[in-house]
Amino acid sequence: MGKDVIIACDFKNQSEVLSFLEKFENKRPYLKIGMELYFAEGPSIVKTLKARGHKIFLDLKLHDIPNTVEKAMAVLSSMQIDMCNLHAAGTVPMMEAALRGLTRPDGKRPLLIAVTQLTSTNEERLHNELLIGASMNETVLHYAALSKKAGLDGIVCSPLESKSVHEKLGREFLTVTPGVRLKENDRGDQARVMTPSDAKKAGSDYIVVGRPITAAEDPLAAYEIFMKDFLDEAEN
């Protein structure tokens, strides 16, 4: 199952991404394309990077009525992406519709991962704005359980939550975790971070790493340190 370092390509446009990737020589890292890059370049950015041999996590976090999400997911799936996501807040019928849309005629489909609660939402706003009375932890685990019930493959969460998600929902339910830093890295705006080897020990299946690689003086060297730290631990 999986186990990979996914580089968050938070760049403005294709030329910035391609010049970044030039530094990777013959390596083809797993890439995450988010809204900024996708809305700037459209589907062609996915096709270009797929054609160059990269696996793609398309991070567009869909959230709409089931019929709309089903059709949109069918379009994304036809682009041969490897992973995509949605908001579990769309509820079980929307998640089931997303899976139907993603499933290709041969029965295969990209991995589908849920966002439970955005990490930018704090407990106070969860209670006062979203009017959710349960704690953040209970809410995240409940939304994760609903995602599993709908048939999704896993959730995006902090590496600090990976262990409890796996304890509740099983080892096979994937945790895809941003907020990973080497000890010497600046945390940036990530409040809760873990090192790659600790993320691995906590049970993260994929780590999503942006600035510690994209802003590094030597991005390839930084990527290789993340890969080694994360994958070596995976063998233990």
Could you list the residues that contact ligand C5P (CB under 6 A)?
8, 10, 34, 119, 156, 178-179, 188, 190, 208-212
State the Cα–Cα distance between residues 167 and 236, nearest whole angstrom: 19
The number of beta carbons lying within 10 Å of the beta carbon of residue 179 is: 22
Smallest separation (angstroms) from ligand C5P to the CB of 91? 20
- Between 65 and 130, whose beta carbon lies closer to ligand C5P? 130
Minimum CB separation from ligand C5P for residue 32, in Å? 6
Q: Which among 148, 72, 73 is positioned nearest to 103, based on CA atoms? A: 73
Nearest approach in angstroms of CB 211 to ligand C5P is 4
CA angle (64 as vertex; 114, 175 as ends), nearest 5: 5
| 101 vs 210, beta carbon nearer ligand C5P | 210
Tell me how far, at minimum, the Cβ of 208 lies from ligand C5P, in Å: 5
Residue nearer to ligand C5P on the CB measure, 66 or 114: 114
Select the residue whose beta carbon is closest to ligand C5P and give its number.
210
Minimum CB distance to ligand C5P smaller for 50 or for 211: 211
Question: 61 catalytic, yes or no?
Answer: yes
Q: How far is the CB of 118 from ligand C5P (least distance, A)?
A: 6
Give 66 or 196: the residue with its C-beta nearer to ligand C5P: 196
Query: Which residue among 3, 47, 50, 61 is the active-site one?
Result: 61
- Residues in contact with 187: Cβ distance below 8 Å, sequence separation at least 6, in sequence order: 181, 193
The set of catalytic residues is 61
